[in-house]
Structure 1
């Protein structure tokens, strides 16, 4: 049974009509303008229909309400659908919404998003693979998302944690934060760190779908290297992936980005639905939320990692060594460690 949050506008009626026959028995469709209270521990489907400008005033009112709360959606698990009239803004709206809802206590299943641009050209590949047309591929993706959300079960407890980073330990505030968090993890939790800073991390070169699938089925990637030798086996084994992200230019470090891109071959033959995603993000100035959104779109929406509620810890520290001097940082790190262990 799902609760659909559908902000009403002149484009929402068509989306409602599409959703109604696909919903499990007992589901309800609610306009967020009627209130967002009383939703704790529900299965939610966010459904947003954008207008010609890629906007929805009713959606922005819902977003504002989510951003002003830390527990409005406590215990909820969700997916989302965003439709557009044009070709832009569907993914942008989705990841803003997921980040805000996540901060308000909502988890998101792996691959939680179905987006439909106005032309449905974003479904061309799926249509070709399935031997059908874009409209049918879109409807099938929506039905599949609703079925997975309705049947979702919380993954088994975390026993193995993998941390990936591309930082220099002697100077990194990000790694200093990780050390504080790591110290608070249970003693029986196995933790592995992999540094991607050694200069041998080749980025994805864009193999064809069939070539990527072929090498993925062999458990590797055409380009080999540390991704195949170290990262793939560690990702397969872990229950939780912690991305340690220093924010220098409002973007993930190049080696972390290359790592995410290269995970495609692994994703071709291994879904990460039962693996949690966490992020530690330290900015010199501001913009940590931009990196959190990148992690959401790349690893939750794309690579299928489960996004636990409040998945990220964001801090600001510029000068070398300043992170450990922030007021209350040890308590925050310890609380986040407990959050990882209990997720």
Structure 2
């Protein structure tokens, strides 16, 4: 399947273009977003951004403006991302912002959609050692693997089993109230499983060596055991879609949900989650819900390999206890999100 590359041009983009041209499938094209963002629906897209020494790309910001301005601009498309930098900073930051904006514009993303290269290529040192190659070759191989996965991607099967993870108190949680509205609107044939992680029940990752983590993962376990091994790991294996129910604590995921994400590493060592969708419900007391959505993208889509469907996250603001269900049109909003979850 051919690929459309969106490559905002600057003084540093020529090497990225030269790297991609021989790797692309027949019929693929490289487009400059600054020439227009029309006719990008139902495509395989590859965002390729080269940053300057300040971590910026002025043409990229024009593309970002277009993405944020239309929620159907990329409807039906699926994408990957490549970001290169001159320095050591901002590659992940730019990629995360771009994925969130494109997802809001209707674009889905492969699991592990990002290949990033800092100026020193030190972030490829481990992959280079594993592959017995130098860092530059490891980067090229990663780009080639991403292009191949994007070209070969096929739609996922329908959602039949949903897992919802939360760390909230049911009697007081606007986040769980929003989930109840979404859950009520899901088709009856969809199986729903919920796991609550509260009161320090999930110790954070022990930081085991790669070998030790792989060993525990092969046993379906983890250093700490407990609810992660007994409940979360089996539930993640069973589900077609993971829904993260996130109350906004200081513009970040709660400690228990963060620990849960970190502890998924042992399971990730054993298997990839390319065929499992990621969704999020984020409720903020004031603002900043988009920061949590970006955190979910970075941790679970870019890192842990969950597939990111279009419009993956429902963001709401509700401060006082019980105020969520009084928001204007909230039942219709929740029902629309439930329908989005079921869209192939």
- TM class by shorter chain equals over 0.9
Q: TM-score, normalised by structure 1?
A: 0.99
Deviation at 1:318, TM superposition (A): 0.2
* Residue 260 (structure 1) aligned with residue 284 (structure 2): no
Gaps of 5+ in 2: none
Aligned counterparts, 1:8-47, within 5 A: 8-47=9-48
C-alpha distance in structure 1 between counterparts of 2:128 and 2:184, whole Å:
48
SS in structure 2 at match of 1:66: helix
C-alpha distance in structure 2 between counterparts of 1:36 and 1:256, whole Å:
37
C-alpha distance in structure 2 between counterparts of 1:240 and 1:298, whole Å:
16
Deviation at 1:213, TM superposition (A): 1.0
C-alpha distance in structure 2 between counterparts of 1:227 and 1:91, whole Å:
28
Deviation at 1:198, TM superposition (A): 3.8
C-alpha distance in structure 2 between counterparts of 1:95 and 1:249, whole Å:
19
SS in structure 1 at match of 2:264: helix
Aligned counterparts, 1:245-256, within 5 A: 245-256=246-257
2:218 match: 217
Deviation at 1:199, TM superposition (A): 2.2
Q: Identify the range of structure 1 (320-329 vs 195-204) with the bigger mean alpha-carbon deviation.
A: 195-204
C-alpha distance in structure 2 between counterparts of 1:90 and 1:72, whole Å:
24
C-alpha distance in structure 2 between counterparts of 1:211 and 1:314, whole Å:
38
Deviation at 1:185, TM superposition (A): 0.3
Given that residues 276 and 306 in structure 2 are in contact (C-alpha distance below 8 angstroms), is that contact kept between their aligned partners in structure 1?
A: yes
2:338 match: 337
Deviation at 1:139, TM superposition (A): 0.6
Aligned counterparts, 1:152-171, within 5 A: 152-171=153-172
Deviation at 1:89, TM superposition (A): 0.2
1:61 match: 62
Cα-to-partner distance string for 1:33-69 (whole Å, 9 max, x where unaligned): 1111111100000000000000000000100110011
C-alpha distance in structure 1 between counterparts of 2:207 and 2:22, whole Å:
38
C-alpha distance in structure 2 between counterparts of 1:200 and 1:172, whole Å:
18
Count of aligned pairs: 343
Deviation at 1:342, TM superposition (A): 1.8
Aligned counterparts, 1:42-121, within 5 A: 42-121=43-122
2:311 match: 310
Aligned counterparts, 1:114-193, within 5 A: 114-193=115-194
SS in structure 1 at match of 2:262: helix
Gaps of 5+ in 1: none
Deviation at 1:138, TM superposition (A): 0.6
C-alpha distance in structure 2 between counterparts of 1:149 and 1:278, whole Å:
21
* Residue 240 (structure 1) aligned with residue 241 (structure 2): yes
C-alpha distance in structure 2 between counterparts of 1:199 and 1:244, whole Å:
17
C-alpha distance in structure 2 between counterparts of 1:206 and 1:76, whole Å:
37
Aligned counterparts, 1:272-287, within 5 A: 272-287=273-288
2:6 match: 5
SS in structure 2 at match of 1:19: helix
Deviation at 1:248, TM superposition (A): 2.2
C-alpha distance in structure 2 between counterparts of 1:322 and 1:172, whole Å:
10
Cα-to-partner distance string for 1:146-169 (whole Å, 9 max, x where unaligned): 000000111111000000000001
SS in structure 2 at match of 1:313: strand
Q: TM-score, normalised by structure 2?
A: 0.99
Deviation at 1:210, TM superposition (A): 1.0
SS in structure 2 at match of 1:260: helix
C-alpha distance in structure 1 between counterparts of 2:144 and 2:247, whole Å:
38
* Residue 328 (structure 1) aligned with residue 315 (structure 2): no
